[in-house]
Structure 1
Amino acid sequence: MTEVHGSIEPRFDSVRALFARQQSDDQARGAALCVTVGDQVVIDLWQGVTDKDNSQPWQRDTLVNVFSCTKPLGAVALLQQVEAGKLGLDQPLAEVWPAFATAGKQQITLRQVLAHRSGLSAISQPLPPEALFDWPAMAGALAAQQPWWEPDTDHGYAPVTYAWLLGEPLRRLTGKRPGQAIADSICTPLGMDFFVGVPDSELSRIALVSRLRNQYGDQYARALFAAMIDPQSLAGKAFGNPVSMMTSTNTRDWQQADILSANGTGNARSLARFWQVMAHDGALGELKLLDAQLVQQMRCEHSVGMDRTLLAPTRFGLGVMLDQAWEGGGFGMGANAWGHPGAGGALGFCDPDRRLGFGYVTNTMGPYVLMDPRARALSREVERCLQAID
């Protein structure tokens, strides 16, 4: 078992023990956990290795891909434009992006896109692998795409296309590439060690991501992956078109792209910092990310029921997941918790009732698209410790 590094308040010692036990799995490589309560960091731990040879120790400043944990940052960056009066939540997206006004998309609004109600969960026309890293090609394919269902009548998670549904309006409104817009308006002000598009100078800090072998998850995880490998299904196209989405994680092209739906690269400390501020309605001390009324809109239920892409009941606010009533979807904290998981294990969320921010990352991907049991177990243990104090 590798040594656990970092700091933790004594009241959370059982969380540290659980974190260490999780790394005792023969396939476990590296992970980090950070939790804030109020304005204090109460847990900041890391352990394991970052390379395929298991020779490079995980450091305090190690970075790793957090996949869909990136989505809420893109949502906040665009909602900041709403707060500035540059775009309305119920304004047609085509007013900012004229080429979008085709194939039945003329009236699709930002609110519908943020809540996964636009019908644009996937691109139906097969795209070459290199298209994933060609911003105009992906934006153009989405502009031409017909919705899979009548917009706003149902919902379906958009795992990949979300990057361009949010990123193209963000690019047009700010005049910056999306990753730079997120850096300027969120990561730099909060002091987050987090990137959507990692600069050359930071590439050496990124941990290699690998998958757990011979672990297939629960019945739901197996059913979803069966759908994902069907190239004609909505899930298959949503997660696998272009096919490079499934194979590029450790490549430089992926690490330096602006795929704000899935390629954010950071650490647990940065996720917890973001959610610490969101737990305080978007402002902490003199630092303000977003108007409190817009934060309330984010955490308000906009979509609920069977998800056309994920094939399970889901609840979404604006750019975020809300707590799910079923085992595979909950954050393992209070019923008002909200945030976003990342494929394979990463998790970032807040519990506004406790003013708590939570960040967990790993470079050992499990077989889960929604909540990973490792992160959920840690969250539940944090809650147990808090209840014991209360």
Structure 2
Amino acid sequence: MTDNVRGTADGRFDKVRSLLAENIRSGVEVGASVAVDLHGEMVADLWGGYADAGRTKPWSADTIVNMWSSTKTVTALAALMLVDRGELDVFEPVATYWPEFAANGKEAVEVRHIMSHTSGVSGWNTPFSIEDMFDWEKSTSLLAAQAPWWEPGTASGYHASNMGHLIGEVVRRVSGKTLKEFVRTEIAEPLGADFQIGALPRDDHRVAEIIPFKTRAFDLSLLPPGSPMEKTFYGPEGNPNSANTLEWRRADLGAVNGHGNAKSMARILSAISLGGTVDGVRLLGPDTIDLIFQEQANGVDLVLGAPLRWGIGYGLPQPETVPSIPDDGRICFWGGWGGSMIIMHPDRGLTISYMMNKMSDGTIISSDVANTYISAIYDGLA
């Protein structure tokens, strides 16, 4: 144990432990967890700090936290599992499985487009509120009815808040299970992973409080009127404090309200790094994993305004945007608002996860804090 850091890690990750301890001491972090899975062994599982803004409740081994868009990595995994079973085809139109989605010029939008943020449907037409997202029937019906905001398949525009509704409705139509039910019964329970879309009432006592940033990455009032960027960020306008409400925790928001910690995320996403099977539980096969690395978009994202590369379901390394991820074979990743991050590196059997409750200022995709941990982990493995 180093100061306020608990858990285990072998000597290669002493620097990671020290960084976490210093960040908690200095106030850069309030509470956080970092995990590294290598060839199916959890070689680092560290946590520390506090689960509340008042620093009265220690972050413990079973603390879970809303991880914002890192949730999307599990939602994409759910869809890929159906692909692996032969029940879903990423090259088929979404309307094959969800006929209503063909409305308003979307009949040719393919499943891969909603999984790679290239569908043209990156948010909801306004007026639309966070509370509207909680109504599954209303929110998915509105997405099915609206027209794309750019020509599908031609560019990425980050599906910030609605990716879980788009993919989740396809999962529901194909499997007969809601997204949160599919994730619980087909992913979390078989793997013994402490993760859920939303959070059950019995877990409220161990959910860490989200501590908002002081400054946004964008001044929303300056976004180009009528642009996909403006439409997405106002449809709906994000509010970090919403994650601390019970209504948020009870909702099925596969883009933004997954609850877990670094260990549980590393456990789940190691399926990609380990060839599809974790401790005998098969989620994917090699051919399905190969789909992830088929580049779907490469350029400045129409919503985030940063250079991004997208595979099917996951981001692919882009040094200008996330400098800590090496250009070293097949790697996929994504992160969450405020700085959380999950990286899958199949060529090395490596999965890296970082989850926290204090959101870093001005973050778009990763944060300086996340990048220091990731760099230290790779340095330890060099």
TM-score range for the pair, normalised by the shorter chain length: over 0.9
- Compared CA separation, residues 334 and 269, structure 1 to 2 (3 A): farther
Matches within 5 A, 1:210-221: 210-213=211-214, 216=215
Please say if residues 90 and 111 of structure 2, whose CA atoms lie closer than 8 Å, have aligned partners that are also in contact: yes
Question: Are 1:225 and 2:224 counterparts?
Answer: no
Letter of the aligned partner of 1:317 in structure 2? G
1:45 aligned partner: 46
Aligned: 1:274 with 2:298: no
Task: Answer whether contact 2:32 2:354 (CA < 8 A) is retained.
Answer: yes
What is the TM-score with the length of structure 1 in the denominator?
0.92
| Structure-2 change in CA distance of 1:32 and 1:129 (3 Å) | closer
> 2:339 aligns to what?
345
Q: Distance in 2 between matches of 1:105 and 1:266?
A: 34
Show the 5 A alignment for 1:299-378. 299-326=293-320, 328-335=321-328, 336-367=330-361, 368-378=363-373
Question: Is the 8 Å Cα contact of residues 323 and 331 (structure 1) preserved in structure 2?
Answer: no
Q: Quick one: distance in 2 between partners of 1:314 and 1:334?
A: 14
How large is the RMSD of aligned CA atoms in angstroms? 1.9
What amino acid does structure 2 have at the position aligned with 1:325? P
- The answer to whether the 8 A contact 1:132-1:245 is kept is no
Q: Quote the residue 2:135 is aligned against.
A: 134
Task: Find the counterpart in structure 2 of residue 56 from structure 1.
Answer: 57
Corresponding position of 1:167: 168
Q: Quote the Cα distance in structure 2 between the aligned partners of 1:246 and 1:52.
A: 14
Alpha-carbon distance between aligned partners in 2 of 1:26 and 1:73, rounded to the nearest angstrom = 30
Deviation at 1:285, TM superposition (A): 4.5
Distance 1:307 1:63 in 2: 31
Once the two structures are TM-superposed, the CA of residue 149 in structure 1 deviates from its matched residue by: 0.9
d(CA) in 1 for partners of 2:340, 2:98? 32
Q: What secondary structure sits across from 2:8 in the alignment?
A: strand
**Deviation of 1:161 (Å):** 1.5
Assess if the C-alpha contact under 8 Å between 2:94 and 2:170 holds in 1: yes
Say yes or no: does 1:284 pair with 2:274.
Answer: no
> CA, structure 1 residues 22+38, in 2 after alignment: closer, same or farther (shift >3 Å)?
same
Q: Distance in 2 between matches of 1:100 and 1:168?
A: 10
Residues in 2 aligned to 1:78 and 1:140: alpha-carbon distance in whole angstroms: 20
> Secondary structure in 1 aligned to 2:354?
strand
> 1:244 and 1:333 mapped to 2: Cα distance?
31
Alpha-carbon distance between aligned partners in 1 of 2:222 and 2:159, rounded to the nearest angstrom: 16
Does residue 296 of structure 1 match 2:290? yes
Label 1:163 to 1:284 Cα distance change in 2 as closer, same or farther (>3 A): closer
CA distance in 2, matches of 1:189, 1:271: 14
The CA deviation at 1:119 is 0.5
| Structure 1 residue 58: Cα displacement | 0.5
- C-alpha spacing 1:348/1:27, structure 2 compared with 1 (3 Å): closer
Aligned match of 2:237: 243
**3-state DSSP class of the match of 1:236?**
helix
Relative to structure 1, is the Cα distance of residues 184 and 53 closer, same or farther in structure 2, using a 3 angstrom cutoff? same
Q: In the alignment, is the contact (CA less than 8 A) between 2:324 and 2:372 conserved in 1?
A: no
Tell me if structure 1 keeps the 8 A contact 2:74–2:269: no
For the Cα contact (< 8 Å) 2:157–2:303, is it kept in 1? yes
Q: Which runs of 5+ in 1 are unaligned?
A: 217-221
Q: Secondary structure at the match of 1:121?
A: coil
Aligned to 1:154: 155
Q: Once the two structures are superposed, what CA deviation does each residue of 1:153-180 show, in whole Å capped at 9, x if it has no partner?
A: 2221111121111011111112222101
Distance in 2 separating the partners of 1:306 and 1:244: 22
Unaligned 5+ segments in structure 2 are none
Name the aligned partner's letter for residue 332 of structure 1: I
Aligned twin of 2:78: 77
Query: How far, CA to CA, are the matches of 2:106 and 2:239 in structure 1?
Result: 25
Whether the 8 Å contact between 2:120 and 2:157 is mirrored in structure 1 is yes
Deviation readout 1:81-134 (Å, 9 max, x if unpaired): 222222221111112111111110011110111111111112223114421211
Q: Once the 2 structures are TM-superposed, how far is the Cα of residue 309 of structure 1 from its aligned partner?
A: 0.6
Q: Is the 8 A contact 2:66 2:258 kept in 1?
A: yes
Change (3 A) 1:32 1:380: same
Q: Match of 2:155, SS?
A: coil
User: Counterpart amino acid of 1:301?
Assistant: E
**CA separation of 1:305/1:290 partners in 2, compared to 1, >3 Å: closer, same or farther?**
same
What secondary structure does 2:159 align onto? coil
Secondary structure, in 3 states, of the residue corresponding to 2:70? helix
| In structure 2, distance between residues paired with 1:344 and 1:37 | 26
Query: How high is the TM-score relative to the length of structure 2?
Result: 0.94
Match of 1:194 in 2: 195
CA distance in 2, matches of 1:379, 1:27: 16
Query: Which residue of 2 is the match for residue 19 of structure 1?
Result: 20
The whole-number CA distance in structure 2 between the counterparts of 1:330 and 1:191 is 33
> What is the percent sequence identity of the aligned residues?
33
Q: In structure 1, what is the Cα distance between the partners aligned to 2:116 and 2:221?
A: 22
CA distance in 2, matches of 1:176, 1:330: 38
